[in-house]
Amino acid sequence: MNEVKIEINGVELSAPADLTILQAARLVDVDIPTLCHLDLHNPQVAFKEASCRVCMVEIEGRKNLAPACITTITEGMRVKTSTPRAIRARRTSVELLLSDHPQDCLVCEKNQNCDLQQLAAKLGLRNELKYQGAVSCYEKDCSSNSIQRNPDKCVLCRRCEIMCNDFQTCGVLSAVGRGFETIIKPPFGLPMMETACTFCGQCVAVCPTAALSEMSVVSEVWDAINNPDKFVVVQTAPAVRVALGEEFGMEPGQAVTGKMVALLRKLGFDRVFDTDFAADLTIIEEASEFVHRLQHNGILPILTSCCPAWVKFFEHQFPDLMAIPSSCKSPHEMFGAIAKSYYCEKFGIDPQRLIVVSVMPCLAKKYEAARPELSNKGSRNVDYVITTRELAKMAKEAAIDFKVLEDEVFDNPLGESTGASVIFGATGGVIEATLRTAYEWLTETTLEKVDFEELRGMKGIKSATVKINGMDVRIAVAHGLGNARTLLESIRDGSCRYHAIEIMACPGGCVGGGGQPYHHGDIEVLKARTRAIYNEDRNKTLRKSHENPYVQELYKEFLGKPYQDKAIKFLHTHYTERENI
């Protein structure tokens, strides 16, 4: 790209011609405040709305102010970012937004984590609001147990709409109505629960305010912990440990497994277990199912089923392909089923007393836990799901200084795990873990090189061919439901053929989940979390799921053979065709 010479606030610089004024300004350390702008460094999701009109700057020779976030630089352009006119413009936009916003910051879900609040502070908006008038008043949508919609707090930045439509291709959230009555909502104003929403939570992940947030069950979890009649066990997903530290001001990408375990004990959980254990179990089941299908001319490709948003997506969008996903429950559901059967049996606990809490990077897991088929005689496999963010809130409520906690280790038997399970948290991890096991089972030889590098990384759709017993086993990985759609359509029309496919709904896999600490558009955060995941894997002595001794014990003592009677009863599920609306 050719370079152009421009001037920003009197500073001359030369920059590539495809840069926006905002990007160019950052090169010379000029800060232009933004609100609706988001750059996920992903060509599939272009945030080109420029709807908030906060980043307005003066360009010499231009009649009106220009939005810096989408105006590209041109040769000789002279930009001024902090003239009284530009300052008045950005202040006015924020003052107007505040005039149509509930003034309940102190008790708001997003207090101190809200882009609008930070912007108002940054612009020095103090004392009374300059403009006052009608304030939008809509009903909250609490129809699901994953996502809460509070349109009163919406600033119409349209980020959620772009994620839902362009990235996830679900088309659930979009702008409806005109003028002051414009609102982002599902088609026909349906409650979220009655739509094709997958509850992936990517709308929540990008929402600058509390217009979209999780349905919290923190108080229910406290009640369970404080109830002496209940025996409360907690499990934590692999992606939680590489992100939780961020909530306490730690650098992204620090694995805080030991501190997290210590925290959970301090909060009062009776046992602290690891979803990674169940991830190893998932691999045993999924690899068995894969090998079974391979050896018995079963339907291929096999699709992973760990991601509940992905499961709901294909139930709505690809009901004709319902036979190809694996029937395995997701790891935390397997955990719940085993905890309420095997674990209770082994330790003489009344299953009625047992409460299973999952700490997940995910909002869809909240929805998943309430699916009727994932329960046993009215008792859910998993009772409560809290997100990484909610766990951090509990720690803050309990006034626990997370950073100084001494490392502790998980309880057994449901706390042991291999490196294969850790990588579930990153895109490509599940299929890599499956391959590590399936390869050894099929070839009956040891897999020396366990790292399948070509299945890792942030590329939307990845593929690789692995030679197993002389056969080319073709693998594909997609993260983001738009990519999943592309892949599934190519399977449906026969243009692509694979043996096994992993799909995760969120960018980067679970590390980028809707329940993770807010990344505020910084994609480097997701990359740092991913690196931490693969570090954890590398540091493990055991790196293949079938080597987990406690998993082996579980089959010996309770389940019998993988992908057979008892294992199928406890660890497998079925899917339901759903309307696409």
Partner 1 sequence: MAAMQDEIQKLEITDVELIRVGCMGSCYAEPTFEVVRPHQPAVVYGYVDQDSAREIVRIHLAGNRLLEHQRIPKPGIDDRQVRIALRNCGTIDPESLEDYIAVQGYRALGQCLTTKTAEGIIQEVIGSGLRGRGGGGFPTGLKWKTTALARDDQKYIICNADEGDPGAFMDRSILEGDPHSVLEAMAIAGHAVGASQGYVYIRAEYPLAVARLLIAIEQAQQAGLLGKNIMGTGFDFDIDIKYGAGAFVCGEETSLIHSIEGDRGEPSNKPPFPAESGLWGRPSSVNNVETLANITAIILKGPDWFSSIGTEQSKGTKVFALAGKIKRVGLYEVPMGITVREIVYEMGGGIIDDKAFKAAQTGGPSGGCIPAVYLDTPIDYDSLAAIGSMMGSGGMIIMDENDCMVDVAKFYLEFIVEESCGKCTPCRIGNKRLYEMLDKITGGKGSLKDLAKLKELGETIKDTSLCGLGQSSPNPILSTLKYFHQEYVGHVQDKKCQAGRCSALLAYCIDPEKCSGCMVCVKKCPAQCIEGAVKKPHRIIQDKCIKCGSCMAVCKFGAIEKR
- Give the interface with partner 1 as residue ranges (CB under 8 A): 48-54, 56, 64-65, 67, 70-72, 85, 88-89, 92-93, 96-97, 99-100, 130-134, 155-156, 158, 174-175, 177-182
Who's near 308: CB < 8 A, 6+ residues apart?
Answer: 198, 199, 330, 362, 364, 365, 367, 368
Catalytic residue among 109, 289, 440, 536: 289
In whole angstroms, the minimum distance from the beta carbon of 177 to partner 1 comes to 7
157 given a catalytic annotation: no
Catalytic residue among 214, 246, 285, 368: 368
Catalytic residue among 246, 510, 527, 545: 510
Q: What DSSP string runs through 302-327?
A: EE----HHHHHHHHHH-GGGTTSB--
In whole angstroms, the minimum distance from the beta carbon of 69 to partner 1 comes to 9
CA distance 431 to 462: 11
Whichever of 125 and 142 has its CB closer to partner 1, that residue is 125
Catalytic residue among 109, 214, 247, 286: 286
Instruction: Spell out the SS3 assignment of 121-168.
Output: HHCCCCCCCCCCCCCCCCCCECCCCCEEECHHHCCCCCHHHHHHHHHC
Instruction: Spell out the SS3 assignment of 466-482.
Output: EEECCEEEEEEEEECHH
527 given a catalytic annotation: no
CA distance 111 to 309: 27
In whole angstroms, the minimum distance from the beta carbon of 43 to partner 1 comes to 15
Residue 301: cis peptide before it, omega within 30 degrees of 0: yes
Whichever of 124 and 179 has its CB closer to partner 1, that residue is 179
510 given a catalytic annotation: yes
Whichever of 36 and 422 has its CB closer to partner 1, that residue is 36
In whole angstroms, the minimum distance from the beta carbon of 39 to partner 1 comes to 16
Catalytic residue among 306, 307, 362, 506: 306
In whole angstroms, the minimum distance from the beta carbon of 49 to partner 1 comes to 7
3-state secondary structure of 258: helix
63 given a catalytic annotation: no
Please, what is the end-to-end C-alpha distance for the chain in angstroms? Answer: 43
Whichever of 161 and 537 has its CB closer to partner 1, that residue is 161
Q: What is the 8-class DSSP label of residue 112?
A: T
In whole angstroms, the minimum distance from the beta carbon of 300 to partner 1 comes to 37
Q: Which of 300, 308, 303 is nearest to 329 (CA)?
A: 308
Whichever of 154 and 423 has its CB closer to partner 1, that residue is 154
In whole angstroms, the minimum distance from the beta carbon of 120 to partner 1 comes to 13
365 given a catalytic annotation: yes
Whichever of 63 and 296 has its CB closer to partner 1, that residue is 63
Phi/psi for 232 (5° steps) reads: -105, 115
Whichever of 97 and 567 has its CB closer to partner 1, that residue is 97
Q: List 99's β-bridge partners, or say none.
A: none
With beta carbons less than 8 A apart as the criterion, state whether 187 and 137 touch.
no
Q: How far is CA 453 from CA 76, 438, 462, 544, in A?
A: 45, 17, 10, 16
Q: What DSSP string runs through 88-103?
A: HHHHHHHHHHHHTS-S
In whole angstroms, the minimum distance from the beta carbon of 138 to partner 1 comes to 14
| Other beta carbons less than 10 A from residue 259's beta carbon | 24
Whichever of 165 and 216 has its CB closer to partner 1, that residue is 165
Catalytic residue among 365, 462, 540, 544: 365
373 given a catalytic annotation: yes
Who's near 367: CB < 8 A, 6+ residues apart?
Answer: 144, 145, 146, 199, 308, 312
Which residues are catalytically annotated? 286, 289, 306, 326, 365, 368, 373, 510
